[in-house]
């Protein structure tokens, strides 16, 4: 949210130097250079997005620095859902897509008034479905060492979901999707990842869903595991390494897919969320990857919450309070750490919900579904309004 300070100029009150009759002009009169002419300083406003909070403050110069704002009579209106306060703040949540032209009027305490013509466009770019989707399957993004069924390396594959229409943004955000499956199963083509891939490509993202090494592959990553004797812990370390390679692949291929390499999100469900968290916040023993936003659906860090520090990628986290597969207490531990270091984050506990978080994304919280809240969080913290 952008906030602008209201600059102001206070007209100086000069006292006369003589007792009159000396021919000097009245320093407080209308011809005096010390009288600052009132003017609306704001000449343009940023676009708004449907169902996303909008806050802007108008600025003026001149007058006596005491300003009061109104919409000029008969000059149009601000977008539906927004309002203009006498302080000059335009706030609210736009509820309708379109373009609005309006004239604002500012008055200062010395009796001056001034008007300015402004406009706001409300759109759904990167939030509303507007594109057809192309899918490219089984692209090799890296290789990974394994010991089963034999010692060697396997190809690590991903599927790309990208917008296909001609009316495309010149650059698009990237989104790396990581499936669940307890590090023993799962695939890049499971229903949740396919749904996410299509939903975000329809909105202008380039999304990739990845496969990664699992317990059955017996990856040689004991040195990176928090518990080298546990095959699941060893596979979890391999998954983090593989996810980091997927981020590298996305940046290496950013030009081909017109991805902005500085606007990459990562997210997943269950084991995928555990991997995304370890990747983004640099789990011990594994080089992380520079991503800009993190989504955790039923994920945790299992005692490694201290790796989260201030200034790192903003996090949106959704977790069922009745989850016993990845206990809800793990999400609470992340929340505690995030609050203690000041990490930008949003946390949505789902009362009574178990380990089925993806099926709960239609849940409405304060007038918005969780799916829309994820998209809005991405929009704000990937700074997609600049694309």
pLDDT tens, per residue, the chain with 387 residues: 333 222 323 232 233 333 344 444 444 444 445 679 999 999 999 888 787 789 999 999 999 999 999 999 988 999 999 999 999 999 999 988 788 999 999 999 999 999 999 999 887 778 888 889 999 999 999 999 999 999 999 999 999 999 997 667 789 999 999 999 999 999 999 999 999 999 999 999 999 999 999 999 999 999 999 999 999 999 999 999 999 999 999 999 999 999 999 999 999 999 999 999 999 998 655 666 899 999 999 999 999 999 999 999 999 999 999 999 999 999 999 999 999 999 999 999 999 999 988 889 999 988 889 999 999 899 989 998 777
Same domain assignment for residues 147 and 95: no
The pLDDT of residue 357 is: 86
Q: In the 8-state DSSP scheme, what is residue 56? A: E
Q: How far is CA 192 from the centre of its chain?
A: 21
pLDDT digits (tens, 9 = 90+) for 264-309: 999 999 999 999 999 999 865 566 689 999 999 999 999 999 999 9
**3 state DSSP class of 53:** coil
Same domain assignment for residues 28 and 107: yes
Q: How many CA atoms lie within 13 A of 60 on its CB side?
A: 30
The pLDDT of residue 166 is: 65
Total domains, the chain: 2
The pLDDT of residue 122 is: 86
Q: Where are the beta strands (DSSP E) in the chain?
A: 39-40, 48-49, 54-57, 60-61, 67-71, 82-84, 89-92, 98-108, 113-123, 133-146, 152-163, 172-178, 206-210, 259-269, 293-297, 315-320, 345-350, 364-365, 368-369
CB neighbours of 12 closer than 8 A, spacing ≥ 6?
34
The pLDDT of residue 265 is: 98
Same domain assignment for residues 267 and 218: yes
Same domain assignment for residues 182 and 164: yes
Same domain assignment for residues 48 and 66: yes
Same domain assignment for residues 98 and 196: no
Listed residues 99, 123, 147: the one ending a domain: 123
The pLDDT of residue 168 is: 75
Strand pairing class (315-320; 345-350) = parallel
Dist CA 65 CA 110 (whole Å): 9
Residue 128 lies in a domain: no
Dist CA 251 CA 60 (whole Å): 43
Chain mean pLDDT for the chain: 88
The pLDDT of residue 96 is: 87
Listed residues 72, 92, 123: the one ending a domain: 123
Q: Please report, for the domain that includes residue 148, its CATH number.
A: 3.40.50.1820
277 neighbors 334 (Cβ within 8 angstroms): yes
Same domain assignment for residues 102 and 194: no
Same domain assignment for residues 294 and 203: yes
The pLDDT of residue 126 is: 87
Same domain assignment for residues 235 and 284: yes
Q: Please state, as a whole number, how many other Cβ atoms lie within 10 Å of the Cβ of residue 45.
A: 18
Dist CA 234 CA 335 (whole Å): 26
Structural domain range at position 21: 1-123
Listed residues 68, 92, 123: the one ending a domain: 123
The pLDDT of residue 283 is: 62
CB neighbours of 73 closer than 8 A, spacing ≥ 6?
none
Q: Please report, for the domain that includes residue 92, its CATH number.
A: 2.60.40.10
The pLDDT of residue 252 is: 96
| Residue 282 φ/ψ region, left for φ over 0, alpha for ψ in the -120 to 50 degree band, beta for the rest | left
Dist CA 288 CA 309 (whole Å): 14
**3 state DSSP class of 193:** helix
CB neighbours of 310 closer than 8 A, spacing ≥ 6?
341, 342, 343
Residue 251 lies in a domain: yes
Same domain assignment for residues 273 and 331: yes
Same domain assignment for residues 216 and 318: yes
Same domain assignment for residues 156 and 71: no
Residue 78 lies in a domain: yes
């Amino acid at each position: 949210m952008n906030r602008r300070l209201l600059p102001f100029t206070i007209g100086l009150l000069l006292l006369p130097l003589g007792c009159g009759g000396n021919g000097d002009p009245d320093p407080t009169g209308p011809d005096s250079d010390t009288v600052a002419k009132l003017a609306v300083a704001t000449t343009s406003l940023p676009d708004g997005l449907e169902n996303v909070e909008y806050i802007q403050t108008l600025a003026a110069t001149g007058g006596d620095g005491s300003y009061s704002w109104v919409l000029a009579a008969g000059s149009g209106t601000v977008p539906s859902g927004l309002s203009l306060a006498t302080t000059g703040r335009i706030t609210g949540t736009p509820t309708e897509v379109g373009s609005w032209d309006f004239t604002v009027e500012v008055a200062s305490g010395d009796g001056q008034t001034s008007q300015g013509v402004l406009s706001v466009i409300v759109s759904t770019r990167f939030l509303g479905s507007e594109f057809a989707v192309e899918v490219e399957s089984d692209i090799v993004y890296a290789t990974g060492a394994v010991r089963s069924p034999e010692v060697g390396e396997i190809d690590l594959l991903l599927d790309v979901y990208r917008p296909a229409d001609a009316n495309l943004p010149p650059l698009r955000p990237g989104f790396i999707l990581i499936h669940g499956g307890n590090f023993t199963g799962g695939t890049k083509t499971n229903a949740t990842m396919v749904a996410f891939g299509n939903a975000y490509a329809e909105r202008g993202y380039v999304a990739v869903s990845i496969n990664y090494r699992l317990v059955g592959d017996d990856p040689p990553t004991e040195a990176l595991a928090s518990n080298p004797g546990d095959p699941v812990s060893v596979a979890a370390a391999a998954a983090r390494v593989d996810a980091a390679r997927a981020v590298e692949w996305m940046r290496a291929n950013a030009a081909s897919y017109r991805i902005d390499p500085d606007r990459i999100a990562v997210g997943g469900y269950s084991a995928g969320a555990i991997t995304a968290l370890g990747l983004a916040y640099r789990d011990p023993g594994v080089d992380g990857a520079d991503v800009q936003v993190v989504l955790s659906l039923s994920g945790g860090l299992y005692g490694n919450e201290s790796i989260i520090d201030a200034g790192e990628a903003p996090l949106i986290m959704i977790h069922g309070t009745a989850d016993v597969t990845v206990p809800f207490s793990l999400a609470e531990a992340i929340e505690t750490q995030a609050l203690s270091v000041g990490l930008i984050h949003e946390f949505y506990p789902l009362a009574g919900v178990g380990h089925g978080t993806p099926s709960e994304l239609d849940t409405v919280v304060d007038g918005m579904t969780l799916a829309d809240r994820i998209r809005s969080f991405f929009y704000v913290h990937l700074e997609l309004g600049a694309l």
